[in-house]
Structure 1
């Protein structure tokens, strides 16, 4: 489509709408799925924590495959928009099945198998929508600054989805031991997510391009070659640690409010989630212009140190009877800083398609998106597993929880320490990785110019500085770039050394 359409606000809004699902689904799951299984169904937390992790192992199959499918599909709608349409219905159905009460008070083994399978179905539905969606923007727009605007708008809708997903369940789930209340919430969100995805399908476009088909036998090896890019490896680590830090906030919020502060009732949990999610929404609006005028990693560099200070301060107010207004104020700061991480991550992803193309000579946004989506799920799965294990280590008793009783004092302190120090560690790692991430607007434009040279569209000769940038960003020697074998080979002898 033409430039005029791409610059319209309505186009940015339609593009961003689907991330109500992308941002909201994981908030509901990370906040309430463990609670649903432990408090409503009485499953052991350590066992519950492994369910998302198993789902992520399944994603190692489905995400690369979906990336391949998206890149090789031909449709009048565009390959990615076609799968977004197909996935809209599948996603709504698979989200519902996760929350069906099964064998409550019965066989733990039977429950475990059922919810592993249901989680795998949901994860497949999420993949069908989000892998093509994450790869859509590079096939819509090539301008660096305009991509930043679209990414910023998308993350506003992601944050809006998180607000809805974080607040509506807290208002509807009055008794967190009543399994039927969770299913009612799931039905409502299935409709919301379906509508949001369809809006994006209707309001976006996609450049038609030559399809390079890859056999399914080669899908997995070729998908994992994206990790040979230095920039992509750094991005993946930023994604894992940055999103895990956010998952620890939402995944432990119920336990922190209910078991540490003993303040779940009286609307306090709704207030806490509301403050965190609304501040994230404000943070998206704040950091969008900052990112457009500076660099796409700037929100991480600005927001993470502030969040670390606010998180550490929470430790001094983690007891029953603590002034709740102080906790809300600190949570507001944390929420704004969380927005900085999220908006940076998805903006950075879009520019890695060109980095991969310079390495391989193949434009494969679907595969890049598939591996990024897989990474996001790995982060969520690991977070859930680690939270479950850590809760078990500090003595969390699921029998007390399902009976509505308080945990032991030592367990309460342990939850508070996990809530604070796990965030600090993850945030420190994220900040260090962002500092060394090599792609800004300058590097991106050099990469695009070199791609034009390789295609014969630019007759200029690369300067020494441009060669150095290409090598730094890709991790490859300059004369080894633009080689289709780089999308297939797993050898490392043609690289600069393979380090981050």
Structure 2
């Protein structure tokens, strides 16, 4: 019994020192300057501009411009995302170690900005003819882009946990992040088709995609450099008890701790289903507009309106969370988005205008999801650190993005497989066979709605486990 009390006392002192260190590093929220907040929002402007550019146009570019079979295109898309997902925890571990040496995460974002700005246009290049050379080039450039994206985004994802431990300010940071992300998504959704439309006659459709990607890549790189320069990050505390553990050992520790924490495990399920839902829609909406509604003239509206409405509604959801619980706010947002997708699924081919309204409704609900998730996740990391006596910020965020990117790749593969089974072939026509048209409606509306309905049950269950201690 006496030995047990000694062990408990040692653990208590250790955890107390950890809490003091955390409070020294993460000062109260008022220390987060306006410049840091704006810089944080600018970061996701650049990241989501490129992420959304891939989500909206890359699979379509593979099938309709490169002429790759849908299943092969979906497999290439998934391979790049799986590579991205698998590398995330390793890059996160390296990022955490590197930040302990240099004292901050922010400089790592700027260092990776230039490779990322160059890698994005390569996705939309076509230097080779023939199926296999084109497919191999698509695979190599996709992996190169995802690698650069991971090295830039991983240190950025740790910033909410680094800048503050105040839940209210984390809500504000998450809202700024979503507003920046929505602006980036809006830029990708509007600028890309506008540039393609202006350039495809003099240059051709393929080169027009490339020029549009060069413009967006440069703009994203500039925003990430601005993000690095504006954020004022607390110095990272000196490493304590680091030793010479291998990356594998550190990652295994992070996995064990995450899986033993019921809150974090449910958040990973949330991330998977939310990404599948959003991926099904964003990667197939071009097909929906072109082949179901047969209104290519509405592409800018269909892509831009949902991104536009997310900008004002992100702070609305954050404000609502101050009056309701975060989980209650999430359930409301999920229900609104599911209703939007359900209404879109019921729209006949002649109802393109009402369909835009349901796209906007889904976007209003979807604006809630990232605001709440990126606010709740740092809270879960704090609670986990308080219970275990150690913080593994980057690795926890690395596991979250591992799930996110694996799910996005799976969505692309499912879309490609579905189109392949339906018999879709690139023909340059705005018409599609009835099986292909129905398949497009299914993957772009019904599957997203089903994922969101399942998410409501997951979020309700989160309330029951949020105060439980993780298993030993």
TM-score under structure 1 normalisation?
Answer: 0.82
Q: Which runs of 5+ in 1 are unaligned?
A: 444-468, 477-493, 495-500
Does residue 181 (structure 1) correspond to residue 213 (structure 2)? The answer is no
Structure 1 residues 316 and 4: alpha-carbon distance in aligned structure 2, compared to 1, 3 A threshold: closer
Structure 1 residues 215 and 38: alpha-carbon distance in aligned structure 2, compared to 1, 3 A threshold: same
**Structure 1 position 196, deviation (Å):** 1.3
In structure 1, distance between residues paired with 2:444 and 2:28: 46
Structure 1 residues 418 and 62: alpha-carbon distance in aligned structure 2, compared to 1, 3 A threshold: closer
**Structure 1 position 137, deviation (Å):** 1.8
Contact 1:71 1:211 in 2 (8 A): no
In structure 2, distance between residues paired with 1:143 and 1:284: 19
Partner of 2:417: 389
In structure 1, distance between residues paired with 2:282 and 2:313: 17
Does residue 221 (structure 1) correspond to residue 252 (structure 2)? The answer is yes
Contact 1:65 1:219 in 2 (8 A): no
In structure 1, distance between residues paired with 2:225 and 2:195: 26
Runs of 4+ in 1 over 4 A off after TM superposition: 1-5, 74-77
Partner of 1:154: 177
In structure 2, distance between residues paired with 1:74 and 1:410: 52
In structure 1, distance between residues paired with 2:29 and 2:54: 39
User: Residue 96 of structure 1 is aligned with which of 116, 121, 141?
Assistant: 121
**Structure 1 position 76, deviation (Å):** 7.9
In structure 2, distance between residues paired with 1:296 and 1:391: 38
Partner of 2:366: 338
TM-score under structure 2 normalisation?
Answer: 0.87
Partner of 1:308: 338
In structure 2, distance between residues paired with 1:439 and 1:364: 25
Structure 1 residues 395 and 300: alpha-carbon distance in aligned structure 2, compared to 1, 3 A threshold: farther
Contact 1:394 1:415 in 2 (8 A): no
Q: Which runs of 5+ in 2 are unaligned?
A: 1-24
Q: How does 1:195-206 map to 2 (within 5 A)?
A: 195-204=222-231, 205-206=233-234
SS in 1 for 2:304: helix
Partner of 1:482: none
**Which has the higher mean CA deviation after the structures are superposed, 278-287 or 122-131?**
278-287
Q: How does 1:127-146 map to 2 (within 5 A)?
A: 127-146=150-169
Does residue 245 (structure 1) correspond to residue 273 (structure 2)? The answer is no
**Structure 1 position 359, deviation (Å):** 4.6
**Structure 1 position 33, deviation (Å):** 0.2
Question: What are the Cα deviations for residues 184-216 of structure 1, in whole angstroms up to 9, with x where unaligned?
Answer: 111111111111111221122133212254422
Structure 1 residues 412 and 67: alpha-carbon distance in aligned structure 2, compared to 1, 3 A threshold: same
In structure 1, distance between residues paired with 2:255 and 2:29: 37
**Structure 1 position 296, deviation (Å):** 2.9
SS in 2 for 1:297: helix
SS in 2 for 1:208: coil
What is the aligned length?
438
Structure 1 residues 78 and 189: alpha-carbon distance in aligned structure 2, compared to 1, 3 A threshold: farther
**Structure 1 position 119, deviation (Å):** 1.0
